[in-house]
Each structure stands twice: as C-alpha cells, then as structure tokens.
Structure 1
Amino acid sequence: MKIDILTLFPEMFEGVLGSSILKKAEEKGIVHYHLVNFREYSDNKHKTVDDYPYGGGAGMVLKPQPVFDAIEDRLEGSEKKPRIILLCPQGETYTQQKAEAFAEEEHLIFICGHYEGYDERIRTLVTDEISIGDYVLTGGELGAMVMIDSIVRLLPGVLGNETSPVTDSFSTGLLEHPHYTRPADFRGMKVPDVLLSGNHRLIEEWREKESLYRTYTRRPDLLRGYPLSEKQKAWLKEWEEKRG
C-alpha cells in the first residue's frame, strides 16, 4: 500500500510513522508513507496557503491551488485513482468497518487541513470525508494518524498473529472478550477456570458469552440490528431478567 499525507506539519508524523507497528510495516515493504508539505506547492513568493474568507468571518481558509497542485502531482502516472480522504468534522464518522474497507486499497491520500476550514472547491477532489469523532481538533493530522494506524495494522503480514485483527473489538460487531495471562493467581484475582481447562469448545463459548456481555453492559447500542443467534438471545434474556 502507498499512503500519501498532505500536511503543513510533516514533522508531527515522524514519531508515529517511525515507531512500533507502523515502522515495521514499512521496513517489511508492506506499506510506503510519503509526507507532502503542500506549502511547497504555493504559487506565490510568500508561500501562503490560506486567505480570508469571502463574506467575512473569523479565521483563515485553505486556498484550493496548493492542494489541487499537490494532489495532481501525486496522481501523475497513476493508472487507478486512489481513495482521497479529507479529514473533516463534517465527514462520516470513522468506524472499524471503514478501516477494513480502506485496508483493501492500494493507494490512499490523506488531506490534513488547518485553520478555519477548506475552500469548498477542495471537496471536489476527494472520495471520502471522514471525522474521527464529534469534536474539533486544530488540524487533521491527529485524525490521519488514527486512521493510518487502524488501517495499516489490518494489512496482511503486519501483525504477528493474523487472527488478531479479525477478533478485535468492533471487527465482529461486538466488543472483545476479556484476556488473561500468567500468573493464574495475582493478588487473589484468579483466571477463570475455563481458560485453564484446555477444553477449546468451552473456552470459545466463554469468550463468545463474555464478548456479548461486555457489549450488552458497555455498548448496548452496538446490539441494535446485530444478528443474534438463538443462544445469544437466550443469554441476553437471562441477563435482562437478572437486572429486573
């Protein structure tokens, strides 16, 4: 996968892309990151990329010219149009399902805005407008980092255990079950007996039940429209009766 990041602050990404899983993914040749400071594409001698909004108002607005030129430069020679993602609080809310869809792509371009907003004509370039939550940041850089981390970890060969992303919270539609490791007894807090039993059928059932219960108690909204099995429906009914 090729990931281009258009930003006025490329130095913000150095620690994130140069550490941990994201760094290892690039070292393995699975992904290549390219940071583009679109200020370099400004067509005026002062290298300005923003201006006052027509009609007045607070703040500055990103001009279309530097962004258009930067995108066109990154598209030169491309046979297939990439997904071009605009980080924007007005965009669709980011989800695990969107991360999985983006992970299927060969080329992603992220546009990280700053200041008050974008010239509206920049939106004509993009395929996706994404928000990582209902709050406002000073720029799109942190949102892009969140998305890139969640996407790259899904690429084949990035994680040591290929089943890890499949069983993550939200990937199955439910929150993930609890995990335990050694020691079996830590300060009187013991690992559930079923996990020590060696009975894989019972362990899988315990994990399924705990995953459902954790979702039921912490994120019941995720169960709306979730295709429950008859067994899962019985568990939910049992818990609801206990809660009165």
Structure 2
Amino acid sequence: MRIDLLTLFPAMCEAVLSESIIGRARKAGFVTIACHDIRAFSQNKHRHVDDYPYGGGAGMVMQPDPIFDCFADLCGRLHTRPRLVYLTPQGRRFDQDTALRFSKLDNLCLLCGHYEGVDERVLEEIVDEEISLGDFVLTGGELPALCVADAVARLLPGVLAGEESWQEESIASGLLEYPQYTRPPVYHGRTVPEVLLGGHHAQIEDFRRKAALARTRARRPDLLETAALTEADGAFLQALHAAQAENGAE
C-alpha cells in the first residue's frame, strides 16, 4: 500500500513517520509513505498558499491552485488517482472500521489543511472524503493525518508481529483492552492478579475477557451496543450490574 500526505510541513511529518513501528515498516517495504510540500506548487514569489476569504472574516484560507497542482503532480507520477481524504473537524468521525477500510486501498492520499481551511472548490472537485479525529480544533491537519497513517499502516500484513496484535487491542476487538501487567509482580504494594502468574491459558483468557467487559462497561458502555457478545458475556455483565446495584454503586 502507498500513503501520500499533501502538507505545508513535510519535515514535521517525516520526523514522525520515520520512527517506531511505522518507520520500520517503511524500511522493510510493507508500506510506502511520501510527503509532498504544497508550498512547492505556489505561483507566488514568496511561496504564499493562502489569501483573505471573500466576504470578510477572520483568518486566511488555503488557495485552490497549489493544492490542485500538488495533487495533479502526484497523480501524474503514480499514473493513477489515489483516494483523497481531507482532514477537517467538519468530517465524519474516524474510527477503526474506517482505518480497516482505508487499509484495503492501494493508494490513499491525505490532505492536511491549515488556517481557516481550504477553498471550497477543492472539496467539490477533488476531495473524495472528509475525516475528523473528533470535536476539537488543531492548528493544522498534520497531526490528524499522521494518526490516520499510523492507524492504517499497522493493519497492513507484516507491519505488526502477528495479526492478533491489532485484533486484540482496544476498540479493534469491539471492547476496551483488558489491564496489562509486567515485572515486578509487586509494586508499591499492588500485586499482579494471581491468575496471570499461573500459566493456565484458559483461565487467563477468561480473566482478560471479563476484565475487558468490566472496563468497557465502566468507561465506554456505548461500545457494548455493537460489540459481539456471547451468552456468557451477557450473563457476566448482568451479574456485574446486579452486584453493583446491590452495593449501591449505581
């Protein structure tokens, strides 16, 4: 798979994309990621890519021509048209299902906006989809684009040690992840649950499943509405609810 970022800050993006798992995946050839400087396509001698909005208002708007030209140049060199996704607070909320959908593409291009956003004609003519990380505002689209690139890349074959590595993680499984422990077995008087030290895999799996259910119910009960739950899961959640109600926790 190939992921391209259209950005005003390619060095910033490269610094992140060259580290950790995604950096190793790039070196190993499991994913190709390239950053393209929108400013390089400015026709302004000062390399400006923004201007005042028609109709007045605060801030500046990214001009359409540098973005159009940058994307057209990429399409020409790839001999194909990637799916172009614009990162914006006005977009649809990004989630694990979207990351999985993106990971099945051959080419994904992420457009990083800045200032008050991009000229609407860019969205109308070349953007295929608008994505948001949440209901908050950032300085630009680079950080959301990096999050999307990381979430997508880790789903690709070979990037992680095993497929189960991402399938068991929070959200990917439909539940929040169970608590994790490592050495030492006792720290500040707090001990690792005995079941995790016994080596009985079935008991460990049962403990982790119940811990994930309990944590999801406490922190993100909305996830339980769509999670794939077994009869045993339902019985555990009912027992948990009853116990907490009896203890006055609810």
Quickly name the TM-score band, shorter chain normalised. over 0.9
TM-score by length of 1: 0.94
1:168, 1:193 → 2: CA distance?
22
Q: Deviations over 1:23-64 (max 9, x none)?
A: 101110112221111111123334321111111111111111
| Residue in 2 that maps onto 1:4 | 4
SS in 2 for 1:116: coil
| TM-fit CA distance, 1:78 | 4.3
| Residue in 2 that maps onto 1:23 | 23
**Sequence identity of aligned pairs in percent?**
48
Q: CA RMSD in A?
A: 1.6
| TM-fit CA distance, 1:196 | 2.3
Is contact 2:91-2:130 (8 Å) kept?
A: yes
Question: What is the count of residue pairs matched by the alignment?
Answer: 244
TM-score by length of 2: 0.91
Letter in 2 for 1:101: R
Letter in 2 for 1:9: F
The residue correspondences of 1:8-157 to structure 2 (distance < 5 A) are 8-76=8-76, 78=78, 80-123=80-123, 124-157=125-158
| TM-fit CA distance, 1:239 | 1.2
2:45, 2:199 → 1: CA distance?
70
Question: Structure 1: which 5+ residue stretches go unaligned?
Answer: none
Question: Structure 2: which 5+ residue stretches go unaligned?
Answer: 246-250
Q: Deviations over 1:175-194 (max 9, x none)?
A: 01111223333343222222
Letter in 1 for 2:192: V
1:24, 1:234 → 2: CA distance?
43
Letter in 1 for 2:216: T
| TM-fit CA distance, 1:225 | 3.3
1:31, 1:225 → 2: CA distance?
31
| TM-fit CA distance, 1:242 | 1.6
| TM-fit CA distance, 1:162 | 3.2
Q: Does 1:191 align with 2:181?
A: no
| Residue in 1 that maps onto 2:166 | 165
Say which structure is richer in helix. 2
| TM-fit CA distance, 1:15 | 2.0
Letter in 1 for 2:106: E
2:169, 2:108 → 1: CA distance?
23
1:144, 1:107 → 2: CA distance?
15
